[in-house]
Chain A
C-alpha cells in the first residue's frame, strides 16, 4: 500500500517526496530559531500554540458557566465571581481566540503558499504581530490573575467607565494592544495578495480561502482602530474624569455602543469569512469538483465585508437610538444575509454529481453548513425589529451567535486544521478518531445551544447568575451538551499531538487536492517552493487531477489510499 500510494503521489504532482529533506520544521532547532523566526509558517505555528492556550482558558470558563447554571440558584460562585467568569469567557474567546483563529494560523501559513510566494510581504511585521498578540494577552491574563473584570466582553458604559470595580483598564490595555496584531496581519495579507502572486495567478485563479482572508483583512485594517479609540476613550474617562460617556460628566453612554459595535459587528465577519473560505476549499476537494459559482462566492465575501460595516446599529434597537436609525440598520442587516445565502447555495451545488469523500474535514464542512444555516437564519429573527425587541439580550441571542461563532467559525477552523494538518506537519491524523470527534462536536454543540433558543424566547435574559426555575430544564440540557462538546474538543487535541510523532507520513498531497500549497512538499521548505511556481490553469481543476491520476494509477490503489 505504501509503495502504490507513493507512486501515485509522485505521478500526481511530479515532485519526488523525500521524507528526510529539509523543511521549515527541521531547518533549524532551538528556542531562538522559533522566537526570532521570520518564516510565516513558524509564526503560524506560534500563533496556533498560543490561540490554543487561550481557547483552553476560554473553554474552562465556559465550563464554569455551564456548571453554575445547572440549577437556578447560586451554587458554585457568588454573583460577583460569576460575572467575572462569563466576562473572561467572552474576552478570551472573542479577542484572543476567534478573531485571530483562522487568519493568524491557517491564513498565516497558507496565504503566501497559496499565492506562490516565499513569505508574506513583511515577515518582520508578521513576527511583531505575534509578539504584540502575546503581550496583549499577558496584560489581560494579568488582569485576570489580579482579580478579573466584570463588565461583560462588551464593556458597556457608564458601567465600565465609572462603576465597575474590576481591572477594566488592564484588560482594556490588553485588548488595545492585541488589536494592533490584527491590524498588522491584515495589512500583511492585503499587500501580499496584491503584490506577490505567482506568474499566471490572476485574481480569479486565487483560492477562495485567499479571497475570504483578503476580505477579512479589509475589516481588520479598517475596523480595529475604531475599537482601540473606544478603549482610549474609556481610559480617558476612568483615568482623567473626562466626560465622554457618563452623563453626569456631560457624556453620552450610548455613544460607546456605537463605537464598540462599529468594530465588533464587522469583527464577527472577521471570524466567519475565513471560515467560509476554509469550507469552500474543503467542499471542492472532497466533492472532487470545481467549486460552483466561484465569482459569486468570491464577491460575496467582499460584499459581506463592505455591507458588514453598515449594520452595527442592530445591536442597539432598544438602546434609545432613533427609530429611523433602527429601521436603516435593520434593512442593511437583512441585505447582508443575502451574500451568506449565496455561499450556502453554491456549496450545495458543488456537491452535485461530485465524488463525495467522507473525510474528517468534509464532516466538519458539512457540519458547518448545517449549523451555519441555523445560525444565519436565526440572524433574521434578530434583524427583524419587532422580534428583536423581545429577544434582544436574552439567551436567544446567545444561542444565535454561538451557532455562528462556534457552529460556524470553530467548525471551519477544526475542519481546516484537519485538512491542512498533513501540509503543516507532514503527518496524517487518525481518520477514525477524526470522524468520531467531528460527530461528537456536532451533537454536543446542538445539545448545548439549541435549548438556549427556547430559553431565550421564553425570556431568560443573558448574563443572569440566578434565574427563575421555569428555565431550568433548558439549562440542564445545555450543560449536558457542553460536556459532550468539551470531550469533542479534547479528542482532536490529543490525537493531533499524538500524530506529530506517530502519524503516518503524509506526502505532498494526500488529498490529491488542487492549489499551489499541495504542489510543494509536506511540510514545505522554509521558502515554500524550490522553484518559482507558475500557474497555467484554473483553480479547483479536480476533473483534470482525477483524470490524470486514474490514467496512471489503478482505481484499486486510489480507493485503498482513501481508507488509510
Chain B
C-alpha cells in the first residue's frame, strides 16, 4: 500500500501519445494554478488592509486590452489542446488494415472473448506484442465499457449495436481489464486480464488451446458456416444464384444499394442488423421475404455468422489478401509474421 504509483503501465502505441498530452496539460494546469495563486497571494499580502504604506494610487482601470489578452491567450491555448486531442482521437478511432479481429461479448458481469481461430476466453484476452487487434464488441444486456488503462483505450459496449476498439500492444505483461460503465450489482467484479505475449509465446498459446476450455479446432468462420447451414440461410443465399437472395460472397465492406435508393456500407453492424431484422434495410431489387432471426440466435453465434460472411471475402479494404493459412496455427509457429490468426477467416475455401 505504501507506494505511490503515478502512471499506469505504458503498454500500447497510444500510451505514449496520450501521456504526452497529459503531461502537457499537467504542466499547463500547474503553471496557471501557481501563477494565479501567487498573484492572488501577493496582492492579498501587499494590499492587506493594515498596510497603510503601500501606494494605492491609480488602480487598474477597466482595460479592454488586458481583457483581449486574457481572452485571446486562453483561446489559442485551448485550440492547440483541441487539435492535439483530435489528432490522438483519430488514431484511436481508425484501426489499421493489418489488425486482427477479435470478438467481445459483455454481459452482467463477465467478458467473453472469441478468437477467429476458435479459442474462447472468459475475463481474459491473450494478444501478441506488435500485432494490432481490432475488437468488435456487443453487450447482451446493459451498457458496459471495455477499458484497459495500460493501453489508454476505452469504448462503451452497447446492447444491440457493435462498437469497435483497436490497440497495438507494445510490452509483454498482464494488465487490468475493467468495465468502466456502471452495469449493476457486480460492476466492480466485471474485471479481467489482458495478457500480452511475445509473438512466439502467443503462437504457442494459440496452438495449445484456450485456457478456458474453448472449442479449439473449429474457427469462428467454420462455426458460422455450420450455423449458416443449420438455420437454412444457405437455401436462399446461394453462392452462385442471386435469384432469391443476394450473393454474400464478396459482400463485406462493399457498398450496397438498398430499396429506396440509399446505399450502405456492408460492415459488421449492417450484417448483424440484416440477420436479426431483415426488413430494416432491404437490398435493391428484393422483397421482404427473409424471416426475422431476433431472439433466435445468440450474440456469440451472430458473431460467428458475421465472421463467416466476412470470410467470404470482400473489397480490398479491411480484408488483407488471403495467404494460405488453412494450416493449423502450429505450423506457422515461430515465423516472425506469425501472429496473424485472423487470416484464417479470410480463407475462401470454406465457402461450402
Contact = CB atoms under 8 A, between A and B. Distances in A.
B124 to A, nearest CB: 16
B25 A385 contact: no
Nearest to A323: B93
B47 A356 contact: yes
A318 interface: yes
Given A318-B155, A386-B87, A335 B78 contact: yes
Contact of A463 (B6, B49, B188): B188
Given A338-B75, A393-B145, A353 B59 contact: yes
Contact of A293 (B32, B67, B142, B189): B67
The number of chain B residues touching the other chain, given as a range, is: 35 or more
B82 A394 contact: no
A298 B142 CA distance: 44
Nearest to B31: A377
Chain A at the B interface: SS class? helix
Interface stretch (B178-186, B201-209, B254-262, B335-343): B178-186
A330 B93 CA distance: 15
A235 B198 CA distance: 51
A454 interface: yes
B174 to A, nearest CB: 12
A394 B182 contact: no
Interface string B160-184: 1101000000000000101111111
A458 B149 contact: yes
B326 to A, nearest CB: 35
Interface string B113-151: 000000000000000000000000000011101010110
Interface residues of A, number: 94
A503 interface: no
Contact of B184 (A150, A154, A254, A393): A150
B179 to A, nearest CB: 7
B101 interface: no
A384 B81 contact: yes
A159 B159 CA distance: 11
A411 interface: no
B240 interface: no
Interface in A361-398: 366, 369-370, 373-374, 377-378, 380-381, 383-390, 392-394
Given A353-B60, A459-B8, A473-B1, A393 B93 contact: no
Nearest to A326: B89
B49 A370 contact: no
Contacts of A458: 5-8, 149
A463 B179 CA distance: 10
B36 A373 contact: yes
B347 interface: no
Nearest to A363: B44
Nearest to A476: B1
Interface in B48-94: 48-50, 55-60, 62-63, 66-67, 70-71, 74-75, 78-79, 81-82, 84-93
A513 B292 CA distance: 73
A151 B143 CA distance: 12
Contacts of A373: 32-33, 36-37
A457 B89 contact: no
Contacts of B236: none
A159 B147 contact: no
B302 interface: no
A450 to B, nearest CB: 11
Interface stretch (A21-29, A46-54, A339-347, A488-496): A339-347
Contact of B143 (A159, A248, A374, A394): A159
Contacts of B153: 389-390
Contacts of B216: none
Contacts, number: 269
Contact of B49 (A156, A164, A345, A356): A356
Contact of A327 (B18, B86, B185): B86
Contact of A334 (B29, B63, B81, B160): B81
Contacts of B184: 83, 150, 159, 163-164
B92 A389 contact: yes
Contacts of A163: 108, 141-142, 184
B310 interface: no
User: Lowest 4 A-B CB distances belong to which pairs?
Assistant: A247-B160, A459-B149, A386-B88, A384-B85
Interface of B: 1-8, 17-18, 21-22, 25, 28-29, 32-33, 36-37, 39-40, 43-44, 47-50, 55-60, 62-63, 66-67, 70-71, 74-75, 78-79, 81-82, 84-93, 108, 141-143, 145, 147, 149-150, 152-156, 158-161, 163, 176, 178-189, 191
23 contacts: A79-B186, A158-B141, A253-B158, A293-B67, A319-B156, A320-B156, A320-B161, A330-B86, A337-B78, A353-B59, A355-B49, A358-B44, A373-B37, A377-B33, A380-B81, A383-B78, A386-B87, A386-B89, A389-B92, A457-B7, A458-B5, A465-B187, A473-B4
Given A318-B145, A352-B43, 18 more contacts: A79-B185, A79-B188, A79-B189, A83-B182, A253-B159, A320-B156, A330-B82, A330-B85, A331-B82, A337-B78, A346-B67, A352-B60, A377-B28, A389-B89, A457-B7, A457-B8, A457-B22, A461-B179
Interface of A: 79-80, 83, 150-152, 154, 156-159, 162-164, 246-248, 252-254, 287-289, 292-294, 296, 317-320, 323, 326-327, 330-331, 334-335, 337-338, 341-342, 344-346, 348-349, 351-358, 366, 369-370, 373-374, 377-378, 380-381, 383-390, 392-394, 454, 457-459, 461-470, 472-473, 476, 559, 562
